Structure 1
Amino acid sequence: MLTVSVKWQKELFPKVEIDTSQPPYVFKCQLHDLTGVPPERQKIMVKGGLLKDDANWATLGVKEGQKLMMMGTADEIVKTPEKVPVFMEDLPEEEQVIAVGHTAGLFNLGNTCYMNSTVQCLHSVPELKSALVSYPSQKSSDLDHTSHMLTSATRELFNELDKSVKPVAPMQFWMVLRKKYPQFGQLHNGVYMQQDAEECWTQLLYTLSQSLRSPSFSENPDTIMALFGIQLGSRVHCQESGEESSETESVYSLKCHISQEVNHLHEGLKHGLKSELEKASPCLGRSALYLKESRINALPRYLTVQFVRFFWKRESNQKAKILRKVDYPLQLDVYDFCSDDLRKQLEAPRKILRDEEGKKAGLKAKEKTSGFKRQ
């Protein structure tokens, strides 16, 4: 731990602790609490340059008691409204739904938090809700009965959540989910077991992808893939024989693999895009080790990231959880993980965003230094 002082505008914060085992982004979050300046707008001078979120403290040479200079504008303080507030519980239920801005919660039916969190995440996607509204009540001949039932139950549950501010009991949905995927109905001592939210997410998305891609459903030929699908291009290389091939695949999430070396989400995603696999080598005539490196060829409208926290512990023959803390940014930039072709497509919109952010920052700085207060 290091203790430094931070000068920001006319204020001096004499004792700010730096945990050098954590990345500078954590330090910026501390300064956000002190000053109200968001981490992305902070400019901290260290060794003649700006402090980066993922810099290494060991190479920066920051010393005990050192004085750091920070620049950046704080968020505006929201003024208390002059009108007398109307209490939410005094409004009719229909108006409460509109006033709250979000819909009802879900009752925990007994270790069903994994299911509830999955449903609430998907319910927040307006395009998915629109697709489900258009989903036909009659089952298509090419779709199995349980998939149709689960899709219909999802639609009905979303409809309940949209109309209520009181907690909803997703009993019908839960019954159909267990019928479609029996693993979610496992019992231990007569009690339903806790399950993995990622498994529930994956299974439900797979079912919806089949239902909403049915020939009888013409809303969008591939709704789920358009909303959540990530197209990956991979290079598979065998160092032993020199064989190399390429392949493409579509997935519904990026994996953040967690190890002793992973402190940041970006590091975990980088590990997740690399893997080793053993397969038959035509050149060697036997199995060999291949290295698979992937890049993103196309991004979805909604990007899902899975923190891979569970692994199989061989010595105890059971699933174990990794409790290591992994920091993540409020805005995730995956540009470095994209293919060259996708990077070229992203350059123009990224430049527009940078220019807009620069204009906003410049305007605020000008207003602050002019000495005039806008009315």
Structure 2
Amino acid sequence: VCIKWQKQVFPGIEIDTSQPPMVFKTQLYTLTGVPPERQKIMVKGGILKDDTDWSTLGLKDGQKLMMIGTADEIVKAPEKGPVFVEDLPEEEQAAALGHSAGLYNLGNTCYMNSTLQCLHSVPELKSALLSYSDNVRGNGVDQASHSLTVATRNTFGELDQSVRPVAPLHFLQMLRKKYPQFAQQQNNVYMQQDAEECWTQLIYTLSQTLTSEASEPTAAQMKELFGIDLVSRVHCAESGEESSESESVYSLKCHISHDVNHLHEGLKHGLKTELEKVSPSLGRTAIYTRESRINELPRYLTVQFVRFFWKRESNQKAKILRKVDYPLELDVYDFCSDELKLKLQTPRQVLRDAESAKFGLKVEVKTSRTQNIEGSSTSAGESSSMDIDKADSSVPKKQLTGIYDLIAVLTHKGRSADSGHYVGWVKQDDGKWIEFDDDNPSIRKEEEILKLSGGGDWHMAYICLYKARVI
């Protein structure tokens, strides 16, 4: 089609009628600098709406359309692509980005936008992606996974550099190519999808592509960043059978029931489950209990609140609205195996000493009588007193402590996973929180983050991302 805007004419613009009108509007945004929400496109004497079905308009090749709208006044409209910080006048660059850019909703894609914004908060992931080449594919990596990884890298780059909202068109295309479930339509409109499924699938893809064969040797691998090793005791009370299992996962589950009021309680439920399987000694099925403990921790701990379940009577996903509080500081020591607890004791003592020193408290470590708060003896020092510098030098740097700080929350508002709205809330380096509601980022106070715990129709935490506190 041909677009006339003010005194300018843009001929030969292609419309992909399989995509919602918002995709077409983002094309015009890159050409004119007029944000989609300000665009009024005249079609058949009316205005093109975001939910208009293209097939009802009877468009023809070469048809002329008129657009009304004012471009952003902050920066000069680019000929193509987003506006980058380095293209701005020097005096505008410093004030341009207090945080990364927003993401345009391309038609029920808030599940994808919120996932990207939360994962974008992990600098080590961005570094690993930067070292990933367009031409490199690790062993056994398929083309779709490779393309999705490249699209993730490029989208993160645009978020860091653009002063305007970014339209993640290429990422969306690659996501739907790799995982066709995200291309499901209803009445010719792309359906809302589950953000946790998007998060899980993207992490899985990156774990396949960001390997030592595909990135710089110094780049942090996905297992180190997000992987959680679990060791489980599987026990059958009826037969007395017992066995152990181990597995690696990329998130902990917070199960929600009538007696769960806090994240710790939900995690405890999630690590103890019942399963039914055949008992060799009984010769029939029996109930087994699986009790899991964390045997290895990641730099970034992902926690999913299991809020959705399948409701048979209505044949759709339903949501548990119960309020479940979560902390800004999460200590997972109680969920760790005895072996891991032993490894954590000295780093935890050093961390406590460091925090005491910050408040001007004298750090004293007594002999074998000294007990950790967890109840076991510590060997952090044998002398009667030890200053924090000596404590620091006795322990290797970058050791995990089992204590994590909240850096991102992905929330859902609505009654069903197949509807409603997803938003990402991300903590910045300066301690401020930004609510990334698609293309409209806004600053939030820390107390507002703790109010996302559920209990009503407001946004409630669905995924929490915690960063390890290390010494």
The structure 2 residue matched to 1:131, chosen from 128, 133, 155, is 128
User: Percent identity between the aligned chains?
Assistant: 71
Query: What CA distance in whole angstroms lies between the structure 1 residues aligned with 2:275 and 2:199?
Result: 26
Deviation of residue 352 (structure 1)?
A: 2.1
Secondary structure at the aligned position of 2:305 is classed as strand
- Give 1:323's match in structure 2, choosing from 321, 344, 348: 321
For 1:98 and 1:309, locate their aligned partners in 2 and report how far apart those are by CA, in whole Å: 41
Cα distance, 1:249 vs structure 2: 0.5
Aligned match for 1:199, one of 180, 197, 200? 197
Quick one: which amino acid aligns to residue 123 of structure 1? Answer: H
Question: 2:206 corresponds to which residue?
Answer: 208
Q: How does 1:28-39 map to 2 (within 5 A)?
A: none
Structure 1 segment 92-241 matched on structure 2, within 5 A: 93-94=85-86, 99=95, 100-140=97-137, 142-213=140-211, 215-217=213-215, 219=217, 223-241=221-239
**Alpha-carbon displacement from aligned partner over 1:288-311 (angstroms, at most 9, x marks no partner):** 111000000011000000011001
Amino acid at match of 1:285: G
Deviations 1:261-313 (A, max 9, x none): 11101000000101111112111112211100000001100000001100111
CA distance in 2, matches of 1:361, 1:299: 29
**Runs of 4+ residues deviating >6 angstroms:** none
Letter of the 1:112 counterpart: T
Alpha-carbon displacement from aligned partner over 1:178-212 (angstroms, at most 9, x marks no partner): 11111111112222111111110100011111111
Residue of structure 1 aligned with 2:274, choices 273, 276, 286: 276
- CA positional deviation for 1:139: 4.7
- Cα deviation for residue 102 of structure 1 reads 2.2
- How far residue 158 of structure 1 moved from its aligned partner, in angstroms, is 0.9
The one of 350, 355, 360 aligned to 1:352: 350
Report the TM-score, using the length of structure 2 for normalisation: 0.55
Per-residue CA deviations over 1:219-238 (Å, capped at 9, x if unaligned) read 36971111000010100001
Contact persistence 2:100–2:161 (CA under 8 A) = yes
SS at match of 1:304: strand
Matching residue's letter, 2:176 = R
Residue of structure 1 equivalent to 2:382: none
Q: Distance in 2 between matches of 1:103 and 1:355?
A: 35
CA offsets 1:52-109 (integer angstroms, 9 cap, x no match): xxxxxxxxxxxxxxxxxxxxxxxxxxxxxxxxxxxxx69x944666554421111111
* SS of alignment partner, residue 232 of structure 1: strand
Asked if the contact 1:134–1:219 (Cα under 8 Å) also holds between the matched residues in 2, the reply is no
Q: 1:124 to 1:221 in 2, by over 3 A?
A: closer
Unaligned 5+ runs, structure 1: 1-88, 364-375
Letter in 2 for 1:109: L
2:124 and 2:220 in contact (8 A); partners too: no
CA, structure 1 residues 144+220, in 2 after alignment: closer, same or farther (shift >3 Å)? farther
Distance 1:236 1:218, change over 3 A: same
Give me the whole-angstrom Cα distance separating, in 2, the residues matched to 1:336 and 1:122: 27
Separation (CA, whole Å) in 2 of partners of 1:315 and 1:301 = 42
SS of the equivalent of 2:330 reads: coil
Q: Deviations over 1:125-158 (max 9, x none)?
A: 1111111111121253632111111011111111
CA root-mean-square deviation: 2.2
Shift of 1:216: 4.4
Bigger shift: residues 199-208 or 128-137: 128-137
> What corresponds to 2:398 in structure 1?
none
Give the 3-state SS of the residue equivalent to 1:278 in structure 2: strand
Cα 1:297–1:97 change in 2 (3 A) is farther
* Distance of aligned partners of 1:103 and 1:350 in 2 relative to their CA distance in 1, 3 Å threshold: same
How high is the TM-score relative to the length of structure 1? 0.69
Q: Structure 2 CA distance, aligned partners of 1:351 and 1:108? A: 46
Contact 2:128 2:216 (8 Å CA) reproduced: no
Q: Provide the rounded CA distance (Å) in 1 between the counterparts of 2:217 and 2:354.
A: 35
Q: Is the 8 A contact 2:309 2:317 kept in 1?
A: yes
Q: Given that residues 131 and 216 in structure 2 are in contact (C-alpha distance below 8 angstroms), is that contact kept between their aligned partners in structure 1?
A: no
Change (3 A) 1:216 1:286: same
For 1:129, give the aligned amino acid. K
Aligned counterparts of 1:126 and 1:222: Cα–Cα separation in 2 = 10
Seen in structure 2, the aligned counterparts of structure 1 residues 224 and 164 have a Cα distance that, compared at 3 Å, is: same
Residue matched to 1:242: 240
Structure whose residues are more often helix by fraction: 1
Structure 2: gaps of 5 or more residues: 1-73, 76-83, 362-471
Q: Does the 8 A contact of 2:225 with 2:299 survive in 1?
A: yes
Report the Cα distance in structure 2 between the residues aligned to 1:220 and 1:182, rounded to whole angstroms: 33
Give the distance between the partners of 2:195 and 2:106, measured in 1 at CA. Answer: 15
